[in-house]
Structure 1
Amino acid sequence: TGSYRVWDYCVQYQESSLDFISRLMELEGIAYHFSHEADKHTLVLTDAATQHQPFSGYEVIPYHQTPSGGSTDEEGISQWALEDSVTPGIYSLDDYDFRKPNAWLFQAQQNPASPKPGSIDVYDWPGRFVETGHAEFYARIRQERWQVEHQQIQATATAAGIAPGHIFTLTNAPFFSDNGEYLVTAAGYHF
């Protein structure tokens, strides 16, 4: 949905084409996942949290309380563990443009989910940009990444519709505050 800068100079060096494209998309805040159907597989690009859709038939997934973390015959989630990570309070970046040596390119972005600024901060140089607008964009994208990493869930489920890039709503959670919408960022399957 966004518009992205045109790179004057960009190099692929000692990396596969997939690694190269993945690196550039990550830099620009673009995520990808795959949609699989019986007759085709589609690469889906997203650059905003609002673009993620539920996996068909798995819009709502219930938590099933099982004794000692056992399993149940019903599709759902049987284990749910919240992981908090310490993330930077401020992400700042800067760069230099030899064509405009006096340009002020420094940009900082605060993470509302992290500790107060000053306790843990990240400073990136070079920021890989030469325009102030690019600095603001990259600072926001990096801080959004830290916000995602601030709190993650590890779960065990029997719901086949839990797939990366899709959202679902958890119901019947042991802690009422855990009920809500979640984005799946990774999944491992055991058959």
Structure 2
Amino acid sequence: MSGVSIKIEDGGVRAALERLEGNLDRKAELLDAIGATARQDVWQNFEDQASPAGIPWAPLKPATLKRRGAGAQILRDRGNLYKSMTYRVTGDDTVEVGTNLVYAGVHQFGGSIKREAREQVVHFRFAAEGAGKDGKGSRLRFTKAGGRHAEGAYARKVSIGGYTINIPARPFLGVGPRLVERLNETLVEALAP
């Protein structure tokens, strides 16, 4: 997984795996169950909009809420990161849980993205009279080149100053009390005679 993943070293899990050493089918089944349990816990973090330790994620900014709607969920705009969570069993005693999305790390750990100053061509068109939602406002609107509203549009080269986007850490991978409890339940079930 090239995006982000977490490796957990746990003595209790390792001891349980050693007890299953002679039964490779049950060991593979246990590792698969551990992976599925951990992935389910990550999905729960997205649904709770909180870290594995239960700490709520930084809220969305007002501009983001305005663009996406008041009910917008954090890190769930298109659902790609949520849906990309996967696990794999590697080797005899390893389970990796994570994603291959390269941008996952900046959401997990936080970070800054610097945008350099640049020039760009933007496309405008004049909207119908009273184009604003309230019947007021500018008649000038952005449009996509070649899009369905591009007829009568004109292009202008504009300068855009440099800026930095600061993304707060919103950890979704890791080990919290809920995952430890779920893994213990998984181990008890797997080791039952």
TM range (shorter): under 0.3
More strand by share: 1
Select the structure with the greater relative contact order (CA < 8 A; seq sep ≥ 6): 2
More helix by share: 2
Q: TM-score, normalised by structure 2?
A: 0.20
Q: TM-score, normalised by structure 1?
A: 0.21
Structure (1 or 2) with the larger CA radius of gyration: 2
